[in-house]
Structure 1
Amino acid sequence: MVLSTAGHEPEASVHYTFASRYVRAPLPRFKMPENSIPKEAAHQIISDELMLDGNPRLNLASFVTTWMEPECDKLIMAAINKNYVDMDEYPVTTELQNRCVNMIAHLFHAPIGDDETAVGVGTVGSSEAIMLAGLAFKRKWQNKRKAEGKPYDKPNIVTGANVQVCWEKFARYFEVELKEVKLREGFYIMDPVKAVEMVDENTICVAAILGSTLTGEFEDVKLLNELLTQKNKETGWDTPIHVDAASGGFIAPFLYPELEWDFRLPLVKSINVSGHKFGLVYAGIGWVVWRSKEDLPEELIFHINYLGADQPTFTLNFSKGSSQIIAQYYQFIRLGFEGYKDIMENCMENARVLREGLEKMGRFDIVSKEVGVPLVAFSLKDSSKHTVFEIAESMRKFGWIIPAYTMPANAEHVAVLRVVIREDFSRSLAERLISDINKVLAEVDALPSRSTTIAHVTAAKNAEGTVLKKTILETQQEITMRWRRFVERKKINGVC
């Protein structure tokens, strides 16, 4: 089938030679094609382009689940055409979501009885969950301030500088000041003492992180609860706590059951967790759970009936797929507490193998802690010759995607690499990664050091600048001489 190429510039088109038995003319890159093409050709064209994407199994930057059992894949595909918001049409899916909310609430020790219903909702990841929790805190604070006849136009949230960007989004989108506790070298999570010092009468909540994105560490929520309880008692305030357990919420209950970070602490009013991280579901599912109905203002819940029966809804978006909710329920009943515990222990064991392998090299400092999310964050002992960014770039030729980044304020001078250990990252992959890092270190050691290269580049630029300045000076001198000769000739001819 030949497509018209009229009006398409070569750079605005995409050429597909593999599918040439179907398509012999380029397709427009940024405009919809005028004609149809066979389904086989469309499939092959897109498949060919996607080959250039990274391998999800080797993407060690992501916390997001990249493998599920085939049986769950089938359930996901069977529900791919179900819109979750149509609760009246898909009541079983709604029931499965409610079961998941209650399972999570019990896992986090919410003060509800066996015959009570937990307060929570499925979301499109933890970002939406945090937006909803933040809105609930803001509205409760505003209502209280209005009732007291006090100003309610300057709300703030206290967090550590290590929070995920979704907290910055919430603050900017919903006009809440974000007061960040700065970090320092060797301590890359929020200091509860400094956090409580920053709390004032306009603070709608303090956000603690159970599993920092930077190092995987758990913040001390119990100490935060104790300090904040004392401050509330002294001031008469009732500043609450939200726990961002996006990464650690499906780890702590199984590996550290005695750790108090959840609803066992009275000031913890809401918790979010990512089902698509260590909840073991593909991307697109998060959860937020409240301690009680009183912690979610009724005016934030909407009731609709144009899809059938009366349906309460509290989400930022409307339509969303049902597949991830069904997949989450599958994992809960398939694995149970025992299965999740086994998987998290395996992840921590593989993280230990990787950490020990890096330590044996003698080239890295391990920044992450052994208690926390199964990940390994590490920095170069000597970064004067080469940087972690060079190592991250070189690892890509082996297929590995490893993030390199600098810490937030006030620890920007510390740069690290981070490897997240997910369920599909086996011990053999950990050993292979160690081997490939060794190869890359040998290669970068053979290259000129960064300081030497910078010196050479600077010298070359200086030399170029000297030549340029000389050329400009000579040109200016030549122009001056020509002007003088011109003036002399005019004088001789009696013009001047």
Structure 2
Amino acid sequence: MPLHRTTPGGFADVYTQPLSRVPLPKYRMPEHSSDPREVYELVRSELLLDGDASQNLATFCTTWSEPEVHALMNENIDKNMIDKDEYPLTAELESRCVHIMANLWHAPHERSTIGCSTTGSSEACMLGGLALHRRWRARRREAGLPADRPNLVCGPVQVCWEKFARYFDLELRQVPLEEGATGLRPHQLKDHVDENTIGVVAILGVTFTCAYEPVADIAAALDDLQRETGLDIPIHVDAASGGFVAPFVQPDLVWDFRLPRVASINTSGHKYGLTPLGVGWVVWREAACLPDELVFWVDYLGGNMPTFALNFSRPGSEVVAQYYTMLRLGREGYRAVQQSCLDTAAHLADRLAATGRFTLLHDGRGAIPGVSYTLADPGSPFSLYDLSDTLRMRGWQVPTYPLPPAQEQTVVQRALIRHGIGRDRISLFVDDLHWALTRLTTPPDDSKRRGFHH
């Protein structure tokens, strides 16, 4: 119900107040102040026209959190994460999160491992890339070699890596997907790396397909290359999606610091880390993997704390939420949540396969909780873009896009399962999917179309 206030005439209703009688300002700030409850209701009313986050199967980001998370974030909304002198306990929680992740990812010296929070996995990726670049540049200069043509090798990556290469003036060598592949294949590396390669990015949860790239096999291929050529090329694992999945539900998968060639790992706390939007993480194998020239030291509580980030002022409440979630769920809780999501994803994949309309690229098993698929019939009377548009009529947001070169002719659709999206919600989605398929394959009969009436 709308919030109310009493007017001088004694009639209380938000929608009779001056601000509600005109379109809300778009280009100029209003001259006068308004009642906070009135403004709240009017802004809230506009935002109701946004899509329902629980029907958004496109996003990796957390769309459901416990009330205690909301309370903690609200209580800490005024804390600046970068101001470690004023908020030393918030900084301490950040440090605890880093060490917990170092333990999850089998860092050799977890208690002395260095890392930091970021505004998201994109910033974390750029920090990992900067460290690779500076280490490569230092080695080249020490050897008396030119250091002006760095490149970074990867498969199909999220746009943040393209931004990193463009912003910091590197060549991004994006290896084309092979036919039938869902990510970078190890044997492709030898044709793309050279003495100017600062590192290889391996993806634990490919944005386009939901699959894991075989990090251990990529490391083995680089080991072979070093024996043949002497090139020692480190790996950064972009675990934006899989970093909080694999340790709990695929514990035997070797992808992390158990591989000596892995120098750094990033993840997104606000994806499968299960915290609200606004926090990512990057952790280095050991302090030596982060060049000293990139580290700033801040004194607090009588000691020194290393900081390394692109952003300066940013909220500390997301870090508080991450630590709460780690304590609240523990390993058992994370395992239960992620396994439930995987089971729901596998159920969705089976329902999609049963329609006979789709060819699955990722069936929700063995990687992140999601499904990716193409149309089974190249001569289908509708496209996946048509299907996305039709599903939007029922409120569902399901992305459709071409795979990166050289498979641009392959159009893919993807659905992600997150905490808060249960079996019942997916059953409703499948019902609407069948409705959409019928609508797209049945010629319209205008004689049966009538206007709405009571």
TM-score normalised over the length of structure 1: 0.84
> Secondary structure of 1:249's partner?
helix
User: Are positions 1:152 and 2:119 aligned together?
Assistant: no
- 2:406 maps to 410
Range with greater deviation from structure 2 (198-207 or 375-384): 375-384
Contact 2:268 2:281 in 1 (8 A): yes
Q: 2:442 aligns with which of 436, 443, 446?
A: 446
Q: Residues 44-55 of structure 1: matches in 2 within 5 Å?
A: 44-55=41-52
1:281 corresponds to which letter in structure 2?
A: T
Shifted more, 63-72 versus 378-387: the winner is 378-387
- In structure 2, distance between residues paired with 1:196 and 1:339: 41
Given the alignment of the two structures, is residue 400 of structure 1 paired with residue 374 of structure 2, yes or no?
Answer: no
3-state SS of paired residue (1:398):
coil
SS in 1 for 2:362: coil
Following superposition, the deviation at residue 259 of structure 1 comes to: 0.9
Cα pair distance change 1:168/1:437, threshold 3 Å: same
Q: Deviation string for 1:276-317 (max 9, x for gaps)?
A: 111000111111000111100001012356999865321001
* AA partner of residue 387 (structure 1): S
Q: 1:90-489 residue pairs with structure 2 within 5 A? A: 90-112=87-109, 116-160=111-155, 162-303=156-297, 312-369=306-363, 370-384=365-379, 385-447=381-443
Cα 1:310–1:261 change in 2 (3 A) is closer
In 1, the alpha carbon distance for the partners of 2:213 and 2:182 equals 10
Query: Identity over the aligned pairs, expressed in percent?
Result: 45
Tell me the distance in 2 between the aligned counterparts of 1:145 and 1:173.
Answer: 21
Aligned letter for 1:349?
Answer: D
Q: Which residue of 2 aligns with 1:67?
A: 64
Q: Deviations over 1:26-83 (max 9, x none)?
A: 4431121222222122112211110110011111100000111111211111101111
Q: Which moved more, 1:228-237 or 1:163-172?
A: 228-237
- What secondary structure does 2:252 align onto? coil
Secondary structure of 2:432's counterpart equals helix
Counterpart CA distance in 1 for 2:45 and 2:383 is 34
* Shift in alpha-carbon separation, 1:61–1:36, aligned structure 2, 3 A: same
Change (3 A) 1:284 1:39: same
Separation (CA, whole Å) in 2 of partners of 1:234 and 1:440 = 55
For the 8 Å contact 1:130–1:272, the answer to whether it is kept is yes
* Equivalent-residue separation in structure 1 for 2:93 and 2:177 (angstroms): 41
Query: Partner amino acid for 1:401?
Result: Q
Give per-residue Cα distances to partners, 1:123-166, cap 9 Å, x unaligned: 11111101111111111111111111100000000000x10000
Decide whether the 8 Å contact of 2:84 with 2:298 is kept in 1.
no
- Name the count of aligned residue pairs: 429
Residue 3 of structure 1 corresponds to: none
> Does the Cα contact within 8 Å between 2:112 and 2:287 map onto a contact in 1?
no
Q: Distance in 2 between matches of 1:299 and 1:276?
A: 29
The offset of 1:18, in angstroms, is: 6.7
CA separation of 1:311/1:224 partners in 2, compared to 1, >3 Å: closer, same or farther? Answer: closer
**Letter of the aligned partner of 1:371 in structure 2?**
G
1:25 CA drift (Å): 3.8
Between the aligned partners of 1:99 and 1:376, the Cα distance in structure 2 is 33
How has the CA–CA distance of structure 1 residues 176 and 269 changed in structure 2, closer, same or farther, with 3 Å as cutoff? same
Contact residue 85 and residue 300 of structure 2 kept, 8 A? no
The question of whether the paired residues in 1 share the 8 Å contact of 2:189 and 2:221 is answered with no
Q: Could you list the per-position Cα deviations for residues 81-138 of structure 1 after superposition, in whole angstroms to 9, with x for gaps in the alignment?
A: 111111111111111111100000010000016xx32211011111110111111111
Cα–Cα, structure 1 residues 309 and 291, in superposed 2: closer, same or farther, change >3 Å? Answer: closer
Q: Does 1:19 align with 2:18?
A: no
Where does residue 73 of structure 2 map in the other structure?
Answer: 76
Q: Deviations over 1:416-462 (max 9, x none)?
A: 211100011100011111111000111111248xxxxxxxxxxxxxx
Instruction: Find the counterpart in structure 2 of residue 488 from structure 1.
Output: none
Hey, what's the Cα distance between the residues in 2 that align with 1:319 and 1:38? 30
Stretch of structure 1 that moved more, 311-320 or 418-427: 311-320
The aligned residue for residue 460 of structure 1 is none
* Structure 2 residues without counterparts, runs of 5 or longer: 1-12, 445-454
Instruction: Quickly say closer, same or farther: Cα 1:307–1:25, change in 2 above 3 A.
Output: farther
User: Which residue matches 1:462?
Assistant: none
Distance 1:306 1:371, change over 3 A: closer
Cα distance in 1, alignment partners of residues 46 and 301 from structure 2: 39
* 3-state SS, counterpart of residue 19 of structure 1: helix
Query: In structure 1, what is the Cα distance between the partners aligned to 2:303 and 2:247?
Result: 37
CA 367–18 in structure 1, closer or farther in 2 if over 3 Å, else same: farther
Q: CA deviation at 1:192?
A: 1.2
Gaps of 5+ in 1: 1-16, 449-496
More helix by share: 1
Pair member with larger Rg:
1
Provide the secondary structure at the position in 1 that maps to 2:201: strand
Quickly say closer, same or farther: Cα 1:261–1:26, change in 2 above 3 A: closer
Measured in 2, the distance between the counterparts of 1:400 and 1:308 equals 53
Give the equivalent residue in structure 1 for 2:3: none
**Match of 1:109, as an amino acid?**
H
- Answer yes or no: is the 8 Å Cα contact 1:215–1:368 preserved in 2: yes
**CA separation in 2, counterparts of 1:433 and 1:304?**
50
What is the alpha-carbon distance in structure 2 between the residues aligned to residue 301 and residue 59 of structure 1? 38
